[in-house]
Amino acid sequence: MLVWTVCAALIVCGVLLRHPYLFQDVQYVLAKIKRRRFVLKCMQTNYSILDRFLDLVKTQPQKTLIYFKDEMFTYREADVLSNRAARAFLQAGCVKEGDAVALFLGNQPMFLWLWLGLLKIGCPGALLNSNIRSKSLLHCLNCSGATTLVASEELLDAVKEVLPHLHEQQITVFILADRCETAGVESFIDKMNQASSEPISKELRSHLTMQSPAAYIYTSGTTGLPKAAVVTYSKVWNFSLLLATTGVNSKDVIYDTLPLYHSTGLLVFTGAVERGIPVVLRSKFSASQFWDDCRKYNVTVIQYIGEIMRYLCNTPQKLSDKNHKVRLAVGNGIRADVWRDFVRRFGEIQIREFYGATEGNFALLNYSSKMGALGRHTFLHKMFFPYAVIKYDADKGEPLRDSSGFCMEVEKGEPGLLVTKITAKAPFTGYVTDLNQTEKKKLHNVFKKGDLYFNTGDLLRIDEDNFMYFHDRVGDTFSNTELQLTPVCDCLTFVFRPGGRAGMAAVTLMDGLKFDSTVVFKHVEDFLPSYARPRFLRIQVCLLQLFTLFAFVVKPLSVEQGFNPNEITDPLYF
């Protein structure tokens, strides 16, 4: 018996020496399978994240759900306030079963009460980016089909700018103020204060299934006008369970500085509800106040995007840098060098980098703490959650196919396009009222006739140890369509990152017309949110030269030349 035990131990040791991440790989896939089974069970019983919230209201009514500045809101208080929001919508007579309501506000508890209130009456929330203005704002409203808009008081000027168009489209407009002097805009706070806080009948949402939309969350708009991704109740569960997969437990306190109108910010709230824990909500990220907040609220889990970690590392060093209770950081986009600097300075915080898209049907998690990686490429993971990294022709903007017309997987170390199989268990719900853009994200006949994959638009690389790394976004350009205006007849926009991020638009002019910088500036300011505005404009005789410069493999000098006044002779505007 002893001999057999020793032999088994030697075999296990040999396997682990050859495959040091085997146990972690298996654990991760098993956790994802368990998560998928849970979501399927919820689909069968029609149990939503709202039902989970209402269960917690019964079992832990006095536990804090939200910390915001110097305010605290318990689960019970959140229930009461969201009941009032729901009744205010119903009593106003502008919202009926299944109607989308657009929410136009920044991070504040009211955002959550409004969204929960909408879920209680069976309506999805169209979560508008609070930075959009003018035509972009109207576009986002139109594509959601919302007939009601609720905006924060500080965004009243942005609403006034488009108010005539809203009235033409018969959109009811509310402002989050006690009263409003603007004609055609009503106070929502006043209606909430007068509404009953009695529980909302479940009959009002009896028409819902797990495939019904809970929210419309907009893509950033950096590759064209924003698109409203359909976020179903089952997808909300998938978002929410991510925190549990990363190791968040029922004793944690999580810090949310990211916008609630985006999936990265909203998943913190829904994930906290799934765990039954408090969320520390901040109106916007502040590098100088970040660690003070963590200490004040005894935060144990933080959420990040890559730039947040870089900003934190760039703040002046303090003796109190490691004086906090944060044990876990969950997010995406952290560079290996920033990761290294962050843990060296702020302590051994476990970082859980993940990869995913709001509209996507697939996610990766770096569960092995490999700096810079998104996750691991394993046979087991690929078998249960089919995906592939395929060869991509950057010049044609499409996958490379062999003589039989099928796609080809890349070799180790070679960048390729990540595609993920669309199945009943991993659906792609697309964009609301935009069948054309939805279809563009689908790839047909990838490996065999009749199969269907989701095109992530991301280039990834797999190394010799099977770690997966982000390489680039396909066609790192943005907002070409919005820049089409007289006298501009053609436009190419692209991104350059010399340690930061800046956008450049290369434009050609119509024959005989002069460039009017004032008109173009006003157009860009009106049409694009601040993050999507190019910082440089370069006037070109012909764009073909630029298209050649920004092919898939680009010499760094060529990219730098695009911005360098010493290297080019074309007119260049800032």
Cβ atoms within 10 A of the Cβ of 573, count?
15
The band of 114, judged by pLDDT with boundaries at 50, 70 and 90, is very high
438-472 pLDDT per residue, tens? 999 999 999 999 999 999 999 999 999 999 999 88
Distances (CA, A) of 315 to 308, 309, 311, 340, 386: 11, 10, 7, 16, 42
Burial of 295 per CB tally in 10 Å (0-12, 13-18, 19+)? middle
Give the sign of the dihedral formed by CA 174, CA 283, CA 350, CA 388.
Answer: positive
Q: Which two tokens stand for residue 93?
A: 């007579």
Cβ atoms within 10 A of the Cβ of 434, count?
16
d(CA 10, CA 383): 28
- Phi-psi bin for 213: left (phi > 0), alpha (psi -120 to 50), beta? beta
Res 553: pLDDT: 33
Res 93: pLDDT: 87
d(CA 427, CA 65): 31
pLDDT over 70 at 545, yes or no = no
Give the sign of the dihedral formed by CA 196, CA 197, CA 198, CA 201.
Answer: positive
Query: In the predicted model, what is the mean pLDDT of residues 323-351?
Result: 95
237-270 pLDDT per residue, tens? 999 999 999 999 999 999 999 999 999 899 999 9
Res 354: pLDDT: 95
Beta strands in 60-164 (DSSP E): 64-68, 71-74, 101-104, 125-127, 148-152
Range in 135-139, 280-284, 382-386, 533-537 the model is least confident about: 533-537
Q: Minimal CA–CA distance to 442: which of 462, 413, 471, 421? A: 421
- CA angle, 515 then 520 then 524, to 5°: 155
- Classified as helix, coil or strand, 420 is strand
Asked if residues 413 and 389 have their Cβ atoms less than 8 Å apart, the reply is no
Q: Minimal CA–CA distance to 329: which of 312, 314, 317? A: 312
The band of 1, judged by pLDDT with boundaries at 50, 70 and 90, is low
Task: Give 181 or 107, the one with higher predicted confidence.
Answer: 107
The band of 563, judged by pLDDT with boundaries at 50, 70 and 90, is low
pLDDT over 90 at 195, yes or no = yes
Task: Give 194 or 536, the one with higher predicted confidence.
Answer: 194
d(CA 52, CA 39): 13
The band of 479, judged by pLDDT with boundaries at 50, 70 and 90, is very low
Mean residue pLDDT of the chain comes to 87
Give all domains of the chain, ordered by start, each with its CATH number.
Answer: 46-284 (3.40.50.12780), 478-573 (3.30.300)
Q: Classify residue 411 by its DSSP letter.
A: P
pLDDT over 70 at 541, yes or no = no
Q: Which two tokens stand for residue 530?
A: 């601040």
Q: Minimal CA–CA distance to 128: which of 472, 469, 540, 529? A: 529
Query: In the predicted model, what is the mean pLDDT of residues 309-329?
Result: 95
pLDDT over 50 at 548, yes or no = no
d(CA 421, CA 386): 6
Name residue 390's beta-bridge partners.
409, 417
Res 9: pLDDT: 44
